[in-house]
Amino acid sequence: MSMLTRFGNGLYTGERSFDFVGKRMVWYLVGAGLVLLAIVITTLRGGFVFGIEFRGGSEFRVSNPSQVVESIASDTVNDVVGVGSNPRVSIVGGDSVRVQTEQLTTEETELIRTELADAYDVPVNEVTSSFIGATWGQDITTQALRALAVFLVLVSGVMALYFRTWKMSLAAMTALIHDLVITAGVYGVLGFEITPAAVIGFLTILGYSLYDTVVVFDKVRENTGEEGEESSRTFAESVNLAVNQTLVRSINTSVVAVLPVAGILFIGSLLLGAGTLRDIALALFIGILAGTYSTIFIAAPMYVHLRENEPEAKKMGRRKERVQKPSSGAVR
């Protein structure tokens, strides 16, 4: 514990430091590579897989079947509707079978219920059916995208007013978009369905990512605001110090947030088979990790990139230059 305390104190006082800002091109390439990889693989796989709530269709659920086998449901639906129906079958909770199909007629729905009951050797009342219209799903998708756009515009404006510079807001929004693309990309790469629960997870990580970024930027503003032309550090060094000073806090916050989310992800997906828990927890798990990375390695270095050529930023560190010039002349 004392080693961790000394480590944190060393980062805060500047006795030890990681050069996050100086190696920013490396971090940019890593972040851009992950984003590009997520987009390319998702595109090659045919895009995202949306849940029935977004695409519309019919859903059947068989409770307490004699055999929890997915192939039985697939064969049954194909026999009724046709081989090209491509039903999506999954096991829910370990003792239920969920079947999702395209939009069906009332006659087809009742026939599939009966056939599923016979195939799984259960009473017909153990097979429930529901229908979601494609129009409703399109409306939900449109509203979600509109809400996301409004949120990003409002938050970027608030951050620009709070920090009194649009460049901090731009750096934070860039990191936020990075987090969203990476998180959504995991769903696209692994082929997981994007459900309303997953969308809730996406919106939740927006708040977490911004919180982590604001904490770091507050320290950046404190370091760069209290030092003027006679600063012993350059602008980039002051920002890098701020990132190091908040590094332990960012890591601790991430660990505390990730551990329970990982527990929910493990319990929900492996033990309970609850798709809703898995969808929310997976989005949170990936988003928290991506948010921690983007705040440290993308947002803060990008802010330096945007401001380092400004006259105010160039004024910082002039005392350091004056001190270094005589020493360099003495060496000659």
The residue segments making up the domain with residue 209 are 21-49+136-323
So what's the pLDDT on residue 29?
92
So what's the pLDDT on residue 326?
52
Based on the domain organization, do 183 and 297 belong to the same domain?
A: yes
Does 209 reside within a domain? Answer: yes
Q: How much is the average pLDDT of 237-243? A: 86
So what's the pLDDT on residue 37?
92
> Helix, strand or coil for residue 274?
coil
Q: Tell me how far CA of residue 214 lies from CA of 76, 117, 123, 229, 258, in angstroms.
A: 54, 55, 57, 25, 19
So what's the pLDDT on residue 332?
36
Based on the domain organization, do 110 and 150 belong to the same domain?
A: no
Based on the domain organization, do 299 and 206 belong to the same domain?
A: yes
Has residue 274 got a pLDDT over 70? Answer: no
Share of the chain above pLDDT 70, in %: 83
> Which residue is listed with tokens 């003792």?
95
Q: Decide: pTM greater than 0.85.
A: no
- d(CA 291, CA 304) in angstroms, rounded, equals 19
Please tell me the total count of domains within the chain.
2
The first and second tokens of residue 326, run together, are 């005589």
Does 249 reside within a domain? Answer: yes
Q: How much is the average pLDDT of 112-138? A: 81
So what's the pLDDT on residue 305?
87
Based on the domain organization, do 191 and 64 belong to the same domain?
A: no
Does 331 reside within a domain? Answer: no
So what's the pLDDT on residue 39?
92
**CA 138 to the chain's CA centroid:** 23
The first and second tokens of residue 146, run together, are 């509109």
Lowest mean pLDDT among 117-131, 266-280, 282-296: 266-280
Q: Which of 132, 162, 188 is the last residue of a domain?
A: 132
Residue 38 contacts residue 185 (beta carbons within 8 Å)? yes
* 49-50 and 127-132 beta bridge pairing: unpaired
So what's the pLDDT on residue 329?
45
How confident is the model over 137-189, as pLDDT tens digits?
677 778 878 888 888 888 888 888 888 888 888 999 999 889 989 988 988 88
Q: How much is the average pLDDT of 103-119? A: 84
> Which residue is listed with tokens 């009194």?
164
**CA 135 to the chain's CA centroid:** 27
Q: Tell me how far CA of residue 248 lies from CA of 8, 56, 291, in angstroms.
A: 6, 46, 15
- At 70, which CATH number? 3.30.460.30
How confident is the model over 72-86, as pLDDT tens digits?
888 888 888 776 567
> Which residue is listed with tokens 């991430």?
254
Please list, in sequence order, all residues whose beta carbon lies within 8 angstroms of the beta carbon of residue 130, skipping any fewer than 6 positions away. 58, 59
- d(CA 225, CA 228) in angstroms, rounded, equals 7
Based on the domain organization, do 128 and 226 belong to the same domain?
A: no
Q: How much is the average pLDDT of 120-125? A: 84
Mean of the per-residue pLDDT values for the chain? 80
Confidence of residue 275 (pLDDT cuts 50, 70, 90): low
Rg (CA), the chain: 27
Based on the domain organization, do 92 and 42 belong to the same domain?
A: no
The first and second tokens of residue 250, run together, are 């960012």
Q: Which of 132, 165, 198 is the last residue of a domain?
A: 132
Based on the domain organization, do 188 and 218 belong to the same domain?
A: yes
So what's the pLDDT on residue 137?
66
So what's the pLDDT on residue 328?
46
Does 267 reside within a domain? Answer: yes
Q: Which of 132, 166, 194 is the last residue of a domain?
A: 132
CA angle at 290 for the pair 258 and 21, rounded to the nearest 5°: 120
